[in-house]
A and B are shown apart, each in its own frame.
Chain A
Amino acid sequence: MLEVRGLRRTFSGFVAIADVTFSVERRQIAAVIGPNGAGKSTLFNLITGHIRPDTGHVRFDDSDITGAPPSAICRMGMGRSFQHANIFPKLTVFENVQAAFIAHRRTGTNFWLKSRSIFADETRVLLRSLGLLGQADTISGTLSYGNQKQLELGLALAADPKMLLLDEPTAGMSSSETKATIELLQQIALERELTLLFTEHDMDVVFAIAQKIAVLHQGRLIAAGTPAEVRSNPEVRRVYLGEQHP
């Protein structure tokens, strides 16, 4: 589904990502972990087109998307949520998701329709599956942080993606919010036959749901494999897990 080969990116001499190669299979739930500054966000930005790689290739769903603009990659079926809840804060919850439908169904070039009722049913169905229907008319910036992250997931799902990239989906959440979000993610991934790639600080979350784990350290990939393989990898234990899981 997703294949990253020999990806490299430097920022004025600093090597943020050094020759990273890995792949995610269709319908797999995969995680990228690593200490702060390991290059996880940079890797995501390289995959989704926000940053161009110096060398290397990204293949998604059997086509080369290296260097394509984010909007094009999004339309090919890659959804993304960001580390900080990244929504349209002054629009209502309903308008947020509706805008994503408008963008995905390419009705944004329509100058003349009334936007109020367009894709209203689809928007409500999606909001219900996220548990946000009751707050449809709330200005989204006033939602709780957990709800904002769920709404952001809704923005990604409105594009009917084949794959979701989630940058720390539970960052800043309470433990009950974290649990609810993880269950929601697993359920949605199953229902929509999604491929998931996520980064996460919480190791319990990672080892609970990931089928494949890639470990980044200082921009290099030091291990990739099943949770069991990664857990027993000596280098991973030394640079990363060893510090947190003695």
Chain B
Amino acid sequence: MTHPLIRRVPWTLLAFAAALCIPLLASRFYTSLATDILILALFATSLNLLLGTTGLVSFGHAAYFAAGAYTCAILMKNHGMPFTAGFAAAGVVAGLMALVFGFFCVRLTKIYFAMLTLAFAQIVWAICFKWNDVTGGEQGLANVPYPDLGWMASIPGLGGMRVGEHYFYLTLVLVGICLLILRRISESPFGRILTTIRENPERAEFIGIHVRRYELAAFVVAGVFAGLAGALFGIFNRGVFPDFGYWSKSAEVLIMVILGGMAQFWGPLVGAFTLTALNQQITSYTEFWPMVLGLILIILLYAFPAGILGTLVNVLGGRGRRTDA
């Protein structure tokens, strides 16, 4: 257990309140960076339901992110649908895709599972890349419209803001809700069963758990939330492109989870923050940024073997109990 004094502080609420102040205090650039981090945090946390909670290494999580991004963008841009419809549809489409792909993936274990998730993700990427009529092919879909957020101007204090800042608030609230739902799920009886599968799938089977079915359920939930993150990202990015579904995107989100700490619920958020901030800082200093970033990552992973947040909790709490278990 973490120290009681540290536990008693309502960290979640404090963080949310602090985030509310970002557009008021920081420049538009940092508000935009914060939006980016929030969306990626949701994406990474959805992956962690598989990685940290269930013990499944998915190497193709970007597929569901891309599916959500394209669904929402196509509906809003080409069919003039409102954001609420596009956002919901993104979750549904990504979830259905995860159901179909997951059905095959959970039949395999370990590295074979990872390879099959990667293969499916590459299929999604190829479809985005080639299906010109629907996805815009290589060019993607540019100029995805912002949702209509004019009503936010009537909220006191938000009047003089630009649409990017309003979009930050929309993202903050939606990501906040999604994260709370994911947290609730990982603390539910369903979540407990997932941890037993991570610990010992053979034994889990013989306390009466249909392991594959639970793995598939986790896969679908993770897919839905990755899709919702994708929908937000497509609008934030003002366009959707095939590389949303490329393997490097899957690797990036995997790094975020491991960097932040997969044994902690908020680990992926810390990882998303660290990787995005590092990326931003280093690219402004040197053109050799991938090399510098790689070196820093190696050092961080050696210094914080349980991830940044995981190591911090271990040091502060002494025992390092998993918060998700």
Contacts and interface: CB of A to CB of B under 8 A. Distances in A.
A90 B200 CA distance: 10
A71 B209 CA distance: 5
A190 to B, nearest CB: 24
Contacts of A75: 208
Contacts of A11: none
Interface in B174-225: 184-185, 187-193, 195-196, 199-200, 202-211, 214, 217
Given A90-B322, A91-B196, A108 B190 contact: yes
Given A102-B193, A113-B188, A115-B191, A108 B322 contact: no
B34 to A, nearest CB: 29
B203 A115 contact: no
A100 B207 contact: yes
A98 interface: yes
A74 B208 contact: yes
Given A91-B199, A99-B196, A71 B190 contact: no
Contacts of B217: 109
Interface residues of A, number: 39
B325 interface: yes
A158 B209 CA distance: 13
Interface of B: 184-185, 187-193, 195-196, 199-200, 202-211, 214, 217, 321-322, 325
B209 A103 contact: yes
B200 A116 contact: no
Given A86-B202, A103-B193, 13 more contacts: A48-B206, A69-B205, A71-B210, A74-B205, A82-B203, A91-B325, A100-B207, A102-B193, A108-B209, A110-B189, A116-B187, A158-B207, A159-B208
A71 B322 contact: no
A88 B208 contact: no
A112 B182 CA distance: 10
Contact of A108 (B184, B187, B193, B206): B193
A112 B184 contact: yes
Interface string A109-127: 1111111101000000000
Contacts of A90: 199, 322, 325
A115 B208 contact: no
Given A89-B199, A102-B192, A115 B187 contact: yes
Contacts of B192: 95, 98-99, 102, 108, 115
Interface in A74-92: 74-75, 80, 82, 86-92
Contacts of B193: 99, 102-103, 108
Interface centre among A50, A69, A90, A104 (most CB of B within 10 A): A90
Contacts of A80: 206
A155 interface: yes
Contact of B206 (A74, A110, A114): A74
Contacts of A115: 187-189, 191-192
Contacts of A112: 184-185, 188
A139 B184 CA distance: 23
Contacts of A155: 203, 207
A225 interface: no
Contacts of B185: 111-112
B195 A71 contact: no
A48 B211 CA distance: 16
Nearest first, the 4 A-B pairs at minimum CB distance are A88-B199, A108-B193, A74-B208, A100-B207
Contacts of B205: 69-71, 74
A118 to B, nearest CB: 6
A91 B208 contact: no
A28 to B, nearest CB: 22
A160 to B, nearest CB: 11
11 contacts: A70-B205, A90-B199, A91-B195, A91-B199, A91-B325, A95-B195, A103-B204, A107-B189, A108-B193, A112-B185, A118-B189
Nearest to A79: B206
Contacts of B203: 82, 86-88, 155
A103 B195 CA distance: 12
Contacts of A88: 195-196, 199-200, 203-204
